Chains A and B, each alone.
Chain A
Amino acid sequence: MMGGTVEIDETKLKALMVASLDGHSRAYQALLRLCAERLRTYYRRRMTGREADVEDLVQETLIAIHRKRASYDPTLPFTPWLHGIARYRLIDHLRREYRRVTLPLDDVLEPVDSIAVDAILAEIDVSSLLTRLSPKQADAIRLTRIEGHSVREAAAMSGQSEPSIKVNVHRGIGRLVAVVRGKAR
């Protein structure tokens, strides 16, 4: 334990997990730290260059480990259990992302009618939500939907072309809906 890489093997992880299930909170904290490291490596290897997603997944998985800790059978090795949970969270994450990304533009246009959008916009703190979008999307939505300018005016004011105003409004709103739904859940 003198700095450098301490080899944390299956035996130690398992011992920590067994102690954690017995209510040993320091062992549990140490275990979660070690799991976080392992998970970071695991997700980084699978989601190269998406550091924010990686950290989200690490946290989601730590929560899953916590909620599902009763599902660990102390007679079995710990690492396959951890990997089972990590893999399930990864698949779930990718599935949700896939659904968001492959939603065709037409699908976003149809159900998000302006009344629903206005109601959503009214209910929430708009400015904080707009920070979740790219600057161009945020500008497009602010100019057309909140300040009420026409697409042509908005294009002139923002320096974007008219088609890109339209696209940015629709993409931005699709994203906002996803954000709001995510919160509701």
Chain B
Amino acid sequence: MRTDQLIAELATEGAPIASPRLRVAGAIFVGWLIALAGLFVFLGPPLQEVQHTGVASFAVKLGYTFALASLSVMAAIAAGRPGSRLAGPIGLIALPIIMLSFVALLELASADAAARSGMLFGTTYLDCLKSVVLASLPVFAGLVWAYRILAPTRLPVAGFLIGLSAGSAGAVAFALYCHEATASFLVAAYTPAMLIPAFFGAIVARPLLKW
């Protein structure tokens, strides 16, 4: 086929298309609802622990995870747009982590030495890791689907950001169940839990995202 012919054919198909932001947001929301339904099946209704820990601790957990989710989704979308700069969006992701680490350090410094490990690792460390990773799976799948209209040129970076988005969305869902109340636990458990899907995403990026 000659190039002119190809151009003529492509031009007849050129209907306007949906915005990637909407598609990504929709996919995340559907994936997140599935994750929430899964958590409901295994752990029962959410927000049971509010009466024990108070609203403030839930607000912090949700705020932290939601901030990370929004920032990493924005970076993930940028990674799917050739020619856009990534340093800024990726740098922003570090901001909530640094801020909360600072709070956690203050918290640990003012605490009794014997209590520190309990504050860091809580009583549900592994449950947190497992639940967040499992809850991230439907979001991850949705994101990979939504991403097909985008054009990542650095696949491992895009995969990492997709995984981080999925991990932090999974963490938002799990935060509704978690009864741990320290900033130290948020840093020590939630952050690695979100990074597991991220590294997984970077590893499977080539076969999953190439175009």
Residue A80 is within 8 A (CB to CB) of chain B in the complex:
yes
A70-B17 in contact (CB<8A): yes
A21 and B16 contacting across the interface, CB-CB below 8 Å:
yes
Chain A residues with a Cβ closer than 8 Å to the other chain, count: 37
* Of A71-79, A112-120, A122-130, A153-161, the one with at least 4 CB within 8 A of chain B: A71-79
Tell whether A69 is near chain B: CB-to-CB under 8 Å: yes
- Which residue of A29, A36, A83 has the most chain B CB atoms within 10 A of its CB atom? A29
Q: How far is the CA of A125 from the CA of B14 in the complex (A)?
A: 35
Q: Which residues of A contact B13 (CB under 8 A)?
A: 66
| B contact face: mostly helix, strand, loop, or mixed | loop
Question: Are B11's CB and A63's CB within 8 A?
Answer: no
Within 8 Å by CB of A23, from B7, B15, B211, lies B15
Interface residues of A (CB under 8 A from B): 20-23, 25-26, 28-29, 32-33, 36, 55, 58-59, 62-64, 66-73, 76-77, 79-85, 87-88, 92
Interface-central residue, A55, A79, A85, by most chain B CB under 10 Å: A85
Measured CB to CB, the closest approach of chain B to A95, in angstroms, equals 10
Nearest to A84 among chain B residues (CB) is: B82
User: Which chain B residue lies CB-closest to A36?
Assistant: B3
User: What 9 new A-B contacts, CB under 8 Å, besides A62-B10, A68-B150, A70-B18?
Assistant: A20-B14, A28-B10, A59-B1, A68-B149, A70-B20, A72-B81, A81-B83, A84-B82, A85-B82
In the complex, the answer to whether B81 meets A73 with C-beta atoms within 8 Å is: yes
Q: Could you tell me which B residues sit within 8 Å of A by CB distance?
A: 1, 3-4, 6-8, 10-20, 80-84, 149-151, 153, 210-211
Whether A29 contacts B8 by the Cβ 8 Å rule is yes
Which residues from chain A contact B6 at a C-beta distance below 8 Å?
Answer: 59, 62-63
- Closest A residue to B83 by beta carbon equals A80
Main secondary structure of the interface of A (DSSP, over half): helix
> Would you call B82 and A22 a contact (CB within 8 A)?
no
Known A-B contacts A25-B11, A28-B14; A58 and B3 likewise in contact (beta carbons under 8 Å): yes
Could you say which residues of chain B place their CB within 8 Å of the CB of A63?
6, 10
A23 to B149, CA, bound (A): 17
**Chain A, Cβ-Cβ closest to B155:** A88
Residues of B within 8 A of A22 (CB): 16
A21 to chain B: which residues have CB within 8 Å? Answer: 16-17
Q: Is A32's CB under 8 angstroms from B149's CB?
A: no
Contacts of A23 in B (CB 8 A): 14-16
Q: Which residues of A contact B153 (CB under 8 A)?
A: 84-85, 87-88
